[in-house]
Amino acid sequence: MASRAPVHPIVVYRIERHPLDVGASGRTFQWLGSGERLQRDLEGLIGPHDPEQVSVLVDPHPAGPAWQHLIESLLQERVRMVVTHLAPLSSGQRQQLIAMCAQSGTRLITPSDAGRRRKAEAIPQSL
């Protein structure tokens, strides 16, 4: 097997097109943009960050080669934050990812985190 490039501390894992994304329903599991929009979306989720510290791992389907690369990187404790949508993953993958992030101290960011940072900043400090 060919050597893969190391991942950066912030990893965005996405699936190109989930089997449940069919026809007119659109891209249900696509919650982050790509290119410059990805950077703006990440800024809204995690705050200011160095774009050079972000790796985007994309699989054509759930549990592809990028998933294996992510898991290997987590095992080697090279990742400090994973940004992904949990819904397209199997139950086993979700449990594996959550457990591995908890064990390694890696922060897991999902769509349910969207807006939390902004809401927390809106709370007055005097309360």
pTM comes to 0.77
Asked if 57 and 7 count as a contact pair (C-beta separation under 8 A), the reply is yes
Q: Which CATH superfamily is domain 12-18+31-120 in?
A: Resolvase, N-terminal catalytic domain (3.40.50.1390)
> What confidence score (pLDDT) does residue 30 get?
58
| pLDDT level of residue 119 (50, 70, 90 thresholds) | very low
> What confidence score (pLDDT) does residue 81 get?
95
CA distance 106 to 83: 10
Asked if 12 and 56 count as a contact pair (C-beta separation under 8 A), the reply is yes
> What confidence score (pLDDT) does residue 23 get?
55
